[in-house]
Chains A and B, each alone.
Chain A
Amino acid sequence: MESKWRFGGWDLNKFNNKFSQIEETISSVLRIGVYVCGLIITAGWVLGLCYGKFYAWSELQSGFESLRLEPPLNSLLQGLLQFDPNTLMNLGLMALIGLPMIRVGATIWLFVRLKDYLFILLATWVLIVLVFSYWYKAF
C-alpha cells in the first residue's frame, strides 16, 4: 500500500519507507522481548503450581504484612541457582516491567536513524524519567 498524500505541510512519502522498516525492527524486538518474559513467567508459574511453592491464598487475601517480600534483587541470584518458582516469576516480571524502556530506547534509535534531533531529545527525556523511576526505589 503506497501513500499518495501530501498534506498539512508534511510529505508522508518522505519518511514512510525508512520509517516503516525501522518500525518493523522495533516490532520484532518487542515481540521477542514479550515472548522471553512470557516464557520465564510461565516457567515459574507452572513450577510453582507443580511443587506447591505458593503462599496460601488466605494469606494473600488478608494483606499478609508478615509475608511482605524482601526486595527481590537481594534474593534473585540465590533463588535462580535453586530454580525457585517465585524468583523465576520475579525475574520475568522485572523484565516485563522493563520492556517499555527498551521500547523507548528503540524509538530513540529510530529518530537517530532519521536524524530527527528534536524527537531524539523528547524521547531521551522520557527514557531518563523511566529509568530513574524504575530504579530509584531498588536499592
Chain B
Amino acid sequence: MIISLGILAISIFAGFFGALLGLGGGVMLVPALTLLFGIDIRYAIGASIVSVIATSSGAAAAYLRDGFTNIRLAIFLEVATTLGALVGVVLSSYLKSDVLFVLFSLLLLHSAYKMWRSDEPGAEDQIKRSPSRWAAKLGLNSQYPDRASASEVPYLVHEIPIGFLIMFGAGILSALLGIGSGVLKVMALDSVMKLPIKVSAATSNFMIGVTAATSAGAFFWRGDIIPQVAAPVAIGVLIGAHWGAKLMPRISGQILRRTFVFVLVLIGVQMALRGVGLE
C-alpha cells in the first residue's frame, strides 16, 4: 500500500513536469521505480511507456483547447518519427546501444549549452526571418495565444527538411534505445525549427503519445506492463499532467526554457552514465 502510494506521488511529479516541458515522464520515473522501489527494469520501462502516453493524453486536451498545439506540424513530423521507428527496429540487431547512449548524451549536453546561451526570439524577430517555402506550402505557420498581451502571437516554422530528418533520427533512437524521444523533439522544434518554447512543448506533447503508442502495444501484450506498477503511474501522471497543462500558459517562455535546459543536462548525464555502464 505504501509503495503504491509512493509510486503515485512520484508519478504526479513526473506528469506535472512532463506536461510542462513536452517530455514523457519516463526520464524521472525509470530511475525512481528502479532505485527507490527496486522494481525490475523491464516493468519500470513498461510503466514509463504508459506514463508517456498518459502525460501526452492528459495534456493534449488542454493544449489543443488553448491553441498551443500545431496539429499540422505534429502530424507531418510524426510521419518521419514512425518511419524512423520502423528503420530503428531493423537496425536494432546491428548496432550497439552503449555507443549510441554516449553519442546521444553528448548531443543533449551540447544542445543544453546552446539553448542556455541563446534567448527565445521575440515575436517580431521570429517573423522577420525569411519564411520557409515548405512551411508555407504545407500550411505549417501558425499562431498561439499570449495571455500577457491578450492576443494571438504569430510564428513561422523554419528548417522543415532538417526538422523532418531530426524527427526521423528521433524515431530511430526511440526504437534502438527504448527511450521516449520527447527531449529530442522539443530540442528540434525549439532550436532548429525556431518555434516558441510553449508551442514546442505542446506540439511535442501531442507527438510523444503517438510515438510511445507504437511500442506500447508490444510491451503490453508481452506482459511487461504490470497493472500493479503501471496503474498508480497512470493515475499519478494523469493528475500531474492536468496541473502541468494548466500552469504552462501562465508561466513565461524564458522560465520554461531554462527549466528545459536543466532537465536536458540531467538526462544527458543519465544517458552518459548508462552508456558507460554506470547506471
What is the interface of chain A, defined by CB distance below 8 A to chain B?
1-3, 5, 7-10, 12, 15, 20, 23-24, 26-28, 30-31, 33-34, 37-38, 41-42, 44-45, 48-49, 54-55, 57, 60-64, 68-73, 85-86, 89-90, 92-94, 96-101, 103-104, 107, 110, 116, 118-119, 122-123, 125-126, 129-130, 133-138
In contact, B210 and A41 (Cβ under 8 angstroms): no
A8 contact from B54, B69, B132, B206, Cβ within 8 A: B132
CB-based closest 8 A-B pairs: A9-B136, A89-B227, A8-B131, A134-B217, A100-B213, A27-B64, A30-B61, A137-B221
Please give, as numbers and ranges, the residues of chain B lying within 8 Å of A136 by CB-CB distance.
217-218
Within 8 A of A (CB), among B94-137: 127, 131-132, 135-137
B231 contact from A9, A31, A41, Cβ within 8 A: A41
In the assembled complex, B92 has its CB within 8 A of some CB on chain A: no
A71 to B237, CA, bound (A): 25
In the assembled complex, B76 has its CB within 8 A of some CB on chain A: yes
In the assembled complex, B62 has its CB within 8 A of some CB on chain A: yes
In contact, A34 and B61 (Cβ under 8 angstroms): yes
What is the interface of chain B, defined by CB distance below 8 A to chain A?
1, 3-4, 37-40, 42-43, 50, 53-54, 56-58, 60-62, 64-65, 67, 69, 71-72, 75-76, 78-79, 82, 85-86, 127, 131-132, 135-143, 145, 150-152, 154, 156, 206, 209-210, 212-218, 220-223, 225-232, 234-235, 238
In contact, A96 and B53 (Cβ under 8 angstroms): yes
A69 contact from B76, B137, B223, B238, Cβ within 8 A: B223
A101 to B217, CA, bound (A): 12
Known: A37-B57, A137-B217. 8 other contacts (CB 8 A): A5-B152, A7-B156, A10-B141, A45-B4, A45-B231, A57-B3, A60-B229, A93-B50
A38 contact from B210, B220, B235, Cβ within 8 A: B235
Assuming A54-B228, A57-B3, is B82 touching A125 (CB within 8 A)? yes
Please give, as numbers and ranges, the residues of chain B lying within 8 Å of A57 by CB-CB distance.
3, 37
B173, chain A: closest CB distance, angstroms: 17
In contact, B40 and A62 (Cβ under 8 angstroms): yes
In contact, A42 and B143 (Cβ under 8 angstroms): no
Assuming A3-B143, A90-B227, A99-B209, is B58 touching A138 (CB within 8 A)? no
Assuming A38-B234, A42-B235, is B152 touching A3 (CB within 8 A)? yes
B100, chain A: closest CB distance, angstroms: 21
Assuming A96-B53, A107-B75, A133-B218, is B231 touching A1 (CB within 8 A)? no
Assuming A7-B154, A123-B75, A126-B210, is B234 touching A134 (CB within 8 A)? no
